[in-house]
């Protein structure tokens, strides 16, 4: 199977921090969980994969990618117009874009707020709106940075169901998360970062049950800090 996203020889410095990833592939239909302590380079890696940062060395190749940051931006328009914005940019007629956006807002639990101004939403509601907007443009790769950190369990479950559905539709999903239980529920593979380096990459079941590296074991046991 051909990857939908691949990175080779990535090196990038931000101040005193340096990220190095020798090789990374994301395949259609899988969820890849990126784990590691705070400051290990998860967000930097996602931004490089999304093309929002240009690596000092190496390259990233792949199909249409969409990145969902921890604090997504919203336009000073209605929730429905925000959700439809990406479709409108891609040339979808307004009526169809709004119809498709309204259907997905229902699935993320925001149908009752469709006509409300988006900037009045809570932080968790903004995340659900941004996810709907991202899914509507049908990217080949979804890059998500802690998408459920501000959500309650009910809405976390809704978001996770949408991510699994996106994978079943053949999209590659790269999920940076601090929630180990979420990674166990969703991930097919795990990439573990520590201090800007890839310590371990393994199938999720292998990583959680029998990690090879001592730093991976320490992380899973809550003993590893930067």
pLDDT score for 192:
97
pLDDT score for 68:
93
**DSSP H/E element including 80:** helix 79-89
pLDDT score for 226:
55
Neighbours of 105 (CB within 10 A): 24
Q: Name which of 114, 163, 112 is nearest 135 in CA terms.
A: 163
pLDDT score for 214:
92
Per-residue pLDDT of 93-143, as tens digits, reads: 999 999 999 999 998 889 999 999 999 998 889 988 999 999 999 999 999
Q: In the chain, which residues have pLDDT < 50?
A: none
Locate the domains of the chain by residue range.
1-64+140-226, 69-138
Per-residue pLDDT of 27-41, as tens digits, reads: 999 999 999 999 999
Domain 1-64+140-226 superfamily per CATH: P-loop containing nucleotide triphosphate hydrolases (3.40.50.300)
CB contact burial 121-149 (16+ within 10 A = b; e otherwise): beebbbbbbbbbbbbbeebbbbbbbbbbe
Q: What is the pTM of this model?
A: 0.90
How many alpha carbons fall within 13 Å on the CB side of residue 164? 13
């Amino acid at each position: 199977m051909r990857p939908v996203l691949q990175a080779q020889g990535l090196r990038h410095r931000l101040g005193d921090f340096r990220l190095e990833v020798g090789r990374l592939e994301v395949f259609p239909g899988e969820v890849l969980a990126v784990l590691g302590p705070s400051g290990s380079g998860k967000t930097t890696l996602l931004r490089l994969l999304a093309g929002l940062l240009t690596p000092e060395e190496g390259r990233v190749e792949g199909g249409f990618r969409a990145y969902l940051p921890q604090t997504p931006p919203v336009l000073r328009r209605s929730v429905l117009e925000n959700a439809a914005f990406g479709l409108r940019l891609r040339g979808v007629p307004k009526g169809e874009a709004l119809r498709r956006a309204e259907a997905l807002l229902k699935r993320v639990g925001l149908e009752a707020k469709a006509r409300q101004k988006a900037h009045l939403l809570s932080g968790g509601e903004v995340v659900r709106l941004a996810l709907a907007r991202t899914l509507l443009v049908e990217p080949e790769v979804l890059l998500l940075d802690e998408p459920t950190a501000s959500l309650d369990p009910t809405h976390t479950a809704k978001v996770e169901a949408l991510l699994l559905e996106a994978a079943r539709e053949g999209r590659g999903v790269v999920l940076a998360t601090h929630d180990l239980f979420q990674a166990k529920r969703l991930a097919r593979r795990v990439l573990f970062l520590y201090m800007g380096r890839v310590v371990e990459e393994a199938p999720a079941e292998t990583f959680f049950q029998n990690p090879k590296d001592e730093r991976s074991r320490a992380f899973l046991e809550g003993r590893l800090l930067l």
